[in-house]
Chains A and B, each alone.
Chain A
Amino acid sequence: MTTSVPHLTELPLERPKGCPFDPPAELGTLRDEHPLVRLTFPDGHEGWLATGHTIARAVLADPRFSARQELMHSPLPGAAAMMEMPPAAPGMFIKMDDPEHGHYRKLLTGKFTVRRMRLLSERVEQVTTEYLDAMERQGTTADLVPAFAQPIPALMICELLGVPYEDHEFFRRNVMPLNLPDASAEEQGAAIDALGQYLYKLIVAKRAEPTDDILGELTTTELTDEELTSIAFLLLGAGLDTTANMLALGTFALLQHPDQLAALREDPELIDGAIEELLRYLTITHTGARTALEDVEIGGQLVKAGEAVALSAQAANRDPLKFPEPDRLDIRRNAAGHASFGHGVHQCLGQQLARVQMKVAFTGLLARFPKLRLAVPADEIPMRTDSDIYGVYALPVAWS
């Protein structure tokens, strides 16, 4: 067993100047030599960082690595990294292991199947058309983030869960601090409380008068109000900010790769592959972590019980051993197997919803505006470098 592996004293978070879509170059250099390196976590914990595609997937699929909140060390700086975490609240299944995790997940998976999500296409189309109409009515330029990328997924997740869309500004305000590592512990705590109270009230109301939506249906299961509040919190939080960033950043990436955009316009059938490739290439949720429950030998290294392994989805998705010429956006490649929805039993529950929304929204946008282009130079686009979810804060576009 080799012992001399590099030791990172913090995660490289800085992206290179220039291409806004490339992850920090240091990750790639490391990965090609050492798919698993030592990492000092922000709280001082001495753990590991997995950058290779194979090893990242192996860790995520191995039940000897735990997702339990109380064992966690966050690899990202910020308030959350410094807190000692209690065990996950009832219902917070992403921070649990099986069998608890599986118990909750099984109540939900039937509601997010490929078939059910495809049935939503028509509704996503209506919504997309409405927002495209509104953009057209308002002139020949718009900021695509508030005009298109944010409202479509927000409206869809609200309808699906049965949460009033009128309150989406309130959610956005309170979901944001949770994704900003720089937010203080107080800000994050206040946001969690505000969302929790709102959702708890909603659940109690639905229990009194069940509605025909996911949360309404779930009130008829054995889930308690507290469990359901956590679940609502997870689903709403996951559905609001992720797809929105994929839509805006994905459009930006296509506009910056005119050959790829032209290929997609010429053959709209390429859209499914293009979405997988954008998911891979952009990797908007870049980092997660697991903790070893026992000594595990992996990638030729001994990871000791209690040690955390951070997983860089960004690095894994640019691993040349899995994706040849990984730094090239190529919508015709087979990008299946990317790590953007994770892997293992926690793999994203809402991924089929995300796919349907991206398919309909990107297709609608490109069809409506054949001359779509950036309205400002690319280097003036404000990038979300301070967030756990990568993206853009604004995307001024023009179409005349």
Chain B
Amino acid sequence: MRLEVDRERCVGAGMCVLTAPEVFAQDEEDGRVRLLDRDPAEIGDAVQLCPAAAITANA
């Protein structure tokens, strides 16, 4: 799948990092999401769990 993250929406809750640590990281400075992998095979529930709807996955 193809992932996009919206850093403006992200509130740094870290649910994505907890759910799929190989795919998501948090910026050291502002805690906002960074993508480690744009085309991962698996991200679990990360899209639904993100409280700010900052992650979009396209099949």
A residues sitting closer than 8 Å to B (CB atoms) are: 60-61, 102, 105-106, 108-115, 336-337, 341-349, 351-352, 355
Shortest distance from the beta carbon of B45 to any chain A beta carbon, whole Å:
6
Pairwise interchain contact A337-B45, C-beta atoms closer than 8 A: yes
Docked Cα-Cα span, A352 to B18, in Å, equals 9
17 A-B pairs (CB sep. < 8 Å): A60-B51, A61-B52, A105-B12, A106-B30, A109-B26, A110-B26, A112-B31, A114-B14, A114-B17, A115-B25, A115-B26, A115-B28, A336-B49, A337-B48, A346-B11, A347-B11, A351-B13
Pairwise interchain contact A336-B19, C-beta atoms closer than 8 A: yes
B27 within 8 A of A: yes
Interface SS majority for chain B: loop
On whether A110 and B27 interact (CB within 8 A), knowing A105-B11, A336-B19, the answer reads yes
B residues sitting closer than 8 Å to A (CB atoms) are: 11-15, 17-19, 21, 25-32, 45, 48-49, 51-53
Of B12, B25, B29, most buried by chain A (CB within 10 Å of CB) is B12
On whether A109 and B51 interact (CB within 8 A), knowing A114-B14, A351-B14, the answer reads no
Which residues of chain A have C-beta atoms less than 8 A from B52's C-beta? 61, 344-345, 347
Q: How many inter-chain contacts with C-beta < 8 Å in the A-B complex?
A: 73
Shortest distance from the beta carbon of B31 to any chain A beta carbon, whole Å:
3
Shortest distance from the beta carbon of B54 to any chain A beta carbon, whole Å:
10
| Chain B residue with Cβ nearest A110 | B31
Pairwise interchain contact B30-A109, C-beta atoms closer than 8 A: yes
Docked Cα-Cα span, A366 to B11, in Å, equals 34
Shortest distance from the beta carbon of A60 to any chain B beta carbon, whole Å:
8
One of A61, A106, A114, A344 near B18 (C-beta < 8 A) = A114
Docked Cα-Cα span, A109 to B52, in Å, equals 13
**6 A-B pairs with least C-beta separation:** A109-B12, A109-B31, A347-B51, A110-B31, A113-B26, A114-B14
| Chain A residue with Cβ nearest B54 | A345
Which residues of chain B have C-beta atoms less than 8 A from A105's C-beta? 11-12
Shortest distance from the beta carbon of A14 to any chain B beta carbon, whole Å:
31
Shortest distance from the beta carbon of A342 to any chain B beta carbon, whole Å:
7
One of B13, B28, B29 near A347 (C-beta < 8 A) = B13
One of A111, A115, A336, A348 near B13 (C-beta < 8 A) = A348
Pairwise interchain contact B14-A352, C-beta atoms closer than 8 A: yes
Pairwise interchain contact B49-A337, C-beta atoms closer than 8 A: yes
| Chain A residue with Cβ nearest B48 | A337
Docked Cα-Cα span, A184 to B18, in Å, equals 41
Pairwise interchain contact B48-A113, C-beta atoms closer than 8 A: no
Shortest distance from the beta carbon of A311 to any chain B beta carbon, whole Å:
14
Shortest distance from the beta carbon of A330 to any chain B beta carbon, whole Å:
18
Shortest distance from the beta carbon of A47 to any chain B beta carbon, whole Å:
23
Apart from A347-B15, A347-B51, A355-B18, what are 20 other A-B pairs with CB-CB below 8 Å? Answer: A61-B52, A105-B12, A106-B30, A108-B31, A109-B11, A109-B12, A109-B31, A110-B29, A112-B12, A113-B17, A113-B28, A113-B31, A115-B17, A337-B45, A341-B13, A344-B52, A345-B51, A347-B52, A349-B12, A349-B13
Pairwise interchain contact A110-B28, C-beta atoms closer than 8 A: yes
Which residues of chain B have C-beta atoms less than 8 A from A61's C-beta? 51-53
Which residues of chain B have C-beta atoms less than 8 A from A106's C-beta? 12, 30-32
Docked Cα-Cα span, A344 to B14, in Å, equals 13
Docked Cα-Cα span, A109 to B11, in Å, equals 7
Docked Cα-Cα span, A275 to B26, in Å, equals 22
Docked Cα-Cα span, A60 to B50, in Å, equals 12
Shortest distance from the beta carbon of A359 to any chain B beta carbon, whole Å:
12
Docked Cα-Cα span, A108 to B11, in Å, equals 10
Docked Cα-Cα span, A352 to B51, in Å, equals 14
Docked Cα-Cα span, A112 to B28, in Å, equals 10
Which residues of chain A have C-beta atoms less than 8 A from B31's C-beta? 106, 108-113
Docked Cα-Cα span, A347 to B49, in Å, equals 11
Which residues of chain A have C-beta atoms less than 8 A from B49's C-beta? 336-337
One of A115, A345, A355 near B11 (C-beta < 8 A) = A345
